[in-house]
Copies of this chain bind each other. A is one copy, B any other.
Amino acid sequence: MNIVVSGAYQTNFGELWNYSLEDLIFESINGALKDASRGKKEIDVVFFGNMLSSSLSSQNHISALINQFLKSNVPVIRVESACASGGVAIAQACTALESGQYEKALVIGAEKMTDFPVEQISYALMNAASEQERDAGLSFVGLYALMANQYIETFGATEQDLALPAIKNHKHAATNKKAQFPFEISLQQVMESPLVADPLRLLHCSPISDGAAAVVLEKNNKKKNNTTKIVASAQAGETLALSERDNFFTLQATEKAAKKAYTQAGLGPKDVSLLEVHDCFTIAELLAIEDLGLYKKGEGFVAMRNGDLQMGGKYPVNSSGGLKACGHPVGATGVKQMVEVVHQLRTKKPLVGLTHNIGGTGGTAVIHILQR
């Protein structure tokens, strides 16, 4: 696979009460097109990743709204895979370009989550869990707490280990102007934050956010300054219900997608210079660095203690601040991860970047590998 990322743009993430979903979508489209030096009419196909527009914004068929904005008749396809909607949209765009039908694809991920009563937001998010687990009274933080407890019990991690990804990601976000929480937090702050679902505390959790991101992908772009390429795009799935799985500390979808992506790219975990991984809760980041093959199962938290995952470390993870500190407008997250990796590849010149986006408790995982 050899797809150029010619344009990349992220809106601010946060509680953006002056912006509608449409405002966020249109800002991200304009930003990505400008970055790619492309006009609206040059795009051949559009993919739109969004989870909650029908539940919260009461708007379906946003594909046609994007046609209206672009003043064009190109195919626009909305995909929904819970919090992996953005990553799935990128993967579908890669497939469309690989099919030879199109040359230039625009991918948008966007979500408007604030401005609604918190009960409505929670209810809408819980729609991505299995009906049985919801009926049993489990929330997403409850489901991830089950994963965290089993990880701690099985591998001897501590509750302090759960705090480390949050502290690191806030540190990274402190220099990211687009981040929802651009400030550092201390171990003490995390450990003293309210318990939400034992052992997960408030500061282990990603926030409710508004935001959008967009990328322009091109199949045959030979311009010299477009040196950032997607070399692998892989999606895999697993059971919706946690209760149907062998254990709670391995996400099969991540493992399978990673294997496919490394094979496509002709690279291994050791070749990766930088990653954006799906840290909806801090336990998810610990599982991800293991399921992606950077560390053996049960050894990721030791590497986290050693500072391996910080900027400047062996595998810098979530330079954007991750979902935890940059924010998590769910459908935008997968696209934002790519915008961040492109930004890093362009400015700080690492060689290989990886994005890892999951839906729900890992029922869907999407991985992209980028190279410059």
- Chain B residues near A236 (CB-CB < 8 A): 73-75
Q: Is A63 an interface residue (CB 8 A)?
A: yes
Nearest chain-B residue to A56 (Cβ)? Answer: B54
- Chain B residues near A241 (CB-CB < 8 A): 68
Alpha-carbon gap, A82 to B59, bound state (A): 10
Which interface residue of A65, A66, A80, A98 has the most chain B CB atoms within 10 A?
A80
Q: Is the interface of A mostly helix, strand, loop or mixed?
A: mixed
* Interface residue ranges, A against B (CB under 8 Å): 51-52, 54-55, 58-68, 72-82, 88, 91-92, 95-96, 98-101, 123-124, 127-131, 235-241, 244, 252-253, 256, 359-360, 363-364
- Chain B residues near A130 (CB-CB < 8 A): 65
Contact of A61 among B62, B73, B77, B82 (CB under 8 A): B82
Check if A74 sits within 8 Å of B124, measured CB to CB. no
- Chain B residues near A58 (CB-CB < 8 A): 123, 127
- Chain B residues near A76 (CB-CB < 8 A): 237, 364
Alpha-carbon gap, A238 to B63, bound state (A): 9
Which interface residue of A81, A124, A130, A238 has the most chain B CB atoms within 10 A?
A81
CB distance from A129 to the nearest CB of B (A): 8
A-B contact pairs, 8 of them (CB 8 A): A61-B363, A64-B239, A64-B360, A65-B240, A74-B237, A75-B236, A77-B81, A78-B81
Check if B78 sits within 8 Å of A256, measured CB to CB. no
Alpha-carbon gap, A51 to B80, bound state (A): 10
- Chain B residues near A128 (CB-CB < 8 A): 60-61
Check if B363 sits within 8 Å of A238, measured CB to CB. no
Check if A64 sits within 8 Å of B95, measured CB to CB. no
A80-B80, A96-B95, A101-B95 are known contacts. Are A238 and B65 too (CB-CB below 8 A)?
no
20 more CB-based (< 8 A) A-B contacts, given A73-B237, A76-B237: A55-B55, A58-B127, A59-B127, A61-B81, A61-B128, A61-B360, A63-B363, A64-B237, A64-B364, A65-B363, A67-B237, A67-B363, A68-B363, A77-B81, A78-B80, A79-B79, A80-B80, A95-B95, A95-B101, A98-B99
CB distance from A284 to the nearest CB of B (A): 16
Contact of A80 among B60, B75, B98, B123 (CB under 8 A): B60
Alpha-carbon gap, A101 to B77, bound state (A): 19
CB distance from A67 to the nearest CB of B (A): 4
Alpha-carbon gap, A54 to B337, bound state (A): 25
Alpha-carbon gap, A58 to B125, bound state (A): 10
Check if B80 sits within 8 Å of A237, measured CB to CB. no
A75-B235, A76-B364, A98-B99 are known contacts. Are A64 and B359 too (CB-CB below 8 A)?
yes
User: Ordered nearest first, which 4 A-B pairs have the shortest CB separation?
Assistant: A64-B363, A67-B237, A64-B240, A61-B82
- Chain B residues near A235 (CB-CB < 8 A): 75, 77
Check if B73 sits within 8 Å of A256, measured CB to CB. yes
Alpha-carbon gap, A238 to B68, bound state (A): 6
CB distance from A280 to the nearest CB of B (A): 13
